[in-house]
Structure 1
């Protein structure tokens, strides 16, 4: 059993760097695009695993969430697992896309986020370990 259980989102983060944010109806050229794993829940599970939460006591960190049956979902799940978290409770939702965040970062480092919940919204009480749902 996990000593730290994270229940939260798993997303593909699409990060666009630009000189400045556009105004309404305006197009501004992007300078760079990166695509990588993200989501508040996934980020917390990775951070806890990297900090050694529960180290030496079986599985220290467990992740509960939902992804789509797509490349983004596999990438996010694999990144969380590679950090040392247990991803057995990450549900794969066929027919739903993995959550996505489109993040624009300007030259000053300010960020605008747009989030599409997608498979994250398909998380169900049955996806939680039984000992967790009995305490809710």
Structure 2
């Protein structure tokens, strides 16, 4: 009986530890989503109602990227493909929320936004050489 009780306590402590760790990760992603949304709001002139929606979409994307980085950390090619799909899905969701003018401003600023939104993602930004 004591052994069963000890196992239950140990299991409960393990779950609490895991929960606390997950909460810290969630708080970090929420904070990052807030910061990204604030920068995006200044670049594309977001109003308050759209800012809330964009922050939620951004948080969802950050969670998705974090999961992709965890699941495909050992397969860079697959990881990049999944991150690219996540970027396309995010853009489609933004298009449904933003005005046409805001979305066009977002598209014009996607290269800086992609590096800001990445979670442990190396920035793969194509560069143009002079004269090309």
Normalised to the residue count of structure 1, the TM-score between the two structures is: 0.25
Query: Bigger radius of gyration, 1 or 2?
Result: 2
Structure with the higher strand share, 1 or 2: 1
TM-score by length of 2: 0.25
Which structure has the higher relative contact order (CA within 8 Å, separation 6+)? Answer: 1
